[in-house]
Chain A
Amino acid sequence: GESVGLHLPTLSVQEGDNSIINCAYSNSASDYFIWYKQESGKGPQFIIDIRSNMDKRQGQRVTVLLNKTVKHLSLQIAATQPGDSAVYFCAEIKAAGNKLTFGGGTRVLVKP
């Protein structure tokens, strides 16, 4: 069946280091992938997205990489800050529809 999943449930990182969050997907028909950040008590907040015809996209301190060969998506956060502590979800949108299908989430804990 189709799925969007995450490799690690919790990632602890030292403040100032880089973070890498991984996500695997199984549906080749997905056309668009998004990373959302969810802080405690808040709704998912859009971080960055990437279309399936791209390999890499950069934002402010964040980079998303897409490897279609192995159906793998990653989010890199540069110089991780305490404010980056949250749960991060990958999500996909299939070409034919507009609902988001979320992965299971990775919790990032930033140590001072």
Chain B
Amino acid sequence: EPEVTQTPSHQVTQMGQEVILRCVPISNHLYFYWYRQILGQKVEFLVSFYNNEISEKSEIFDDQFSVERPDGSNFTLKIRSTKLEDSAMYFCASARLVSLNQPQHFGDGTRLSIL
């Protein structure tokens, strides 16, 4: 069964450094998402992306965050100047269509640790 893949599985970065998290969505999916999960908390929406532009973003997704689909397969999340509070699991998800019976499929996440 096709799946969303994320790399790296664990990223350790110094505070203030830039980090890029990578995702390969399922190949025929058109809608892409990033979520994050701070340890012990619920999963929170960051941003959705369709047709090479952001569809929706949360208040968490400020100017330090950006997303890109640099080619036909990758979907990246960049944090320009990381803060301690950016430490979390970051999940990429994709969906074939935006309809209520097309669920979002999640990758296994990247654990981001800011030192």
Contact = CB atoms under 8 A, between A and B. Distances in A.
Interface of A: 31-32, 34, 36, 41-46, 49, 51, 89, 91, 93, 97-105
Contact of A43 (B31, B58, B107): B107
Interface residues of B, number: 26
Nearest to A50: B100
A99 B33 contact: yes
A44 B91 contact: yes
A34 B103 contact: yes
Interface string B90-108: 0101010010110111111
A101 B45 contact: yes
B38 to A, nearest CB: 12
A100 B109 contact: no
B105 A102 contact: no
B44 A43 contact: no
The interface residues of chain A, by DSSP majority, are classed as strand
A99 B104 CA distance: 9
Contacts of B55: 98
B114 interface: no
Nearest to B48: A99
A98 B108 contact: no
Given A49-B103, A98-B48, A43 B42 contact: no
Contacts of B95: 98
